[in-house]
Amino acid sequence: MVTNPIMTTRELAAYIKLNEKTVLRMAQNGKIPGVKVGNQWRFHLAAIDRYLQTDLMESSDGDLDLIIHTQENAVPLSRLTGSKFIELHSSARTLPQVLTQLSKIAYDNELTSNESILLKELKQREKMLSTAISGGVAFPHPRHPSPKLFKEPKIIIVRSKTGIAFDAPDKQPVSMFFMPCAPNEFVHIRLLAKISKLLHFSGGVNKFMKAENKDQIMRLILKFDSKY
């Protein structure tokens, strides 16, 4: 695990599990935040974290494809979620309540063996930097995804009709919560990219907010899978 807040190209490539040449090309094209010192690139860990949670959502479809397709035989998004991982009528009204609900869904469906530790990790992550982005969406997740927290890759989806204050950049309440359950950072980045691509494809969060039931949510995801 990288602990130095300033990383070289090689360290960043290892950190986000991408090819070093891919990282270099993305830095040169301004796709990831970095500073060139002489002939070498340097990357600040905090800036990379912001990119992974916010800029990734705003990336173009082409950039998302670059990340998603670095893994051959990628699992369809529809196989990473399902009715038991979706809650469309959340009663949560606060940040701690929705994090508690996400942790409980993960525990009840045997994605994690320790609900309290997962909840603690989710809360600590929000204290560092909100996982909310503009447009009513948040991607709650632990800072360091690991097999100790998640047994297998899944995506949990929770919807709040009223919206929850989540310290979003646009100061608006968050209505859609997508929690990537990843056993490592390699999988975590690709789950984030897949969710972002899904929201681009479906016309944004609006269709998810208007869905009347879980079947409609799954149809949106299956339609996405048929295209990608």
Q: How confident is the model at residue 55 (pLDDT cuts 50, 70, 90)?
A: low
Do 182 and 150 form a contact (C-beta atoms < 8 A)?
yes
Long-range contacts: 141-148, Cβ < 8 Å, 24+?
141/179, 141/180, 141/182, 141/188, 142/118, 144/1, 144/185, 145/180, 145/182, 145/183, 145/184, 145/185, 145/187, 145/188, 146/183, 146/184, 147/183, 147/184, 148/117
pLDDT tens for 77-129 read: 898 999 999 999 999 999 999 999 999 999 999 999 999 999 999 999 998 88
- The CATH class of 77-227 is alpha beta
Long-range contacts: 195-198, Cβ < 8 Å, 24+?
195/139, 195/155, 196/56, 196/57, 196/59, 196/64, 197/61, 197/64, 197/65, 197/68, 197/224, 197/228, 198/77, 198/224
Q: Which CATH number fits domain 6-58: 1.20.1050, 1.10.1660, 3.40.50, 1.10.760?
A: 1.10.1660
pLDDT of amino acid 136: 93
Q: What mean pLDDT comes out for the span 125-146?
A: 89
pLDDT tens for 64-77 read: 454 455 444 467 88
pLDDT tens for 149-203 read: 999 999 999 999 899 999 998 899 999 999 999 887 767 877 887 888 888 876 7
Comparing 64 with 20, the larger pLDDT belongs to: 20
CA pair distance 126, 124, nearest whole angstrom: 5
- pLDDT for 63 beyond 70: no
Length of the chain: 228
**pTM of the complete model:** 0.75
Do 41 and 24 form a contact (C-beta atoms < 8 A)?
yes
- pLDDT for 17 beyond 90: no
pLDDT of amino acid 3: 47
CA pair distance 135, 85, nearest whole angstrom: 22
pLDDT of amino acid 1: 41
The ranges assigned to domains in the chain are 6-58, 77-227
| DSSP code for 183 | S
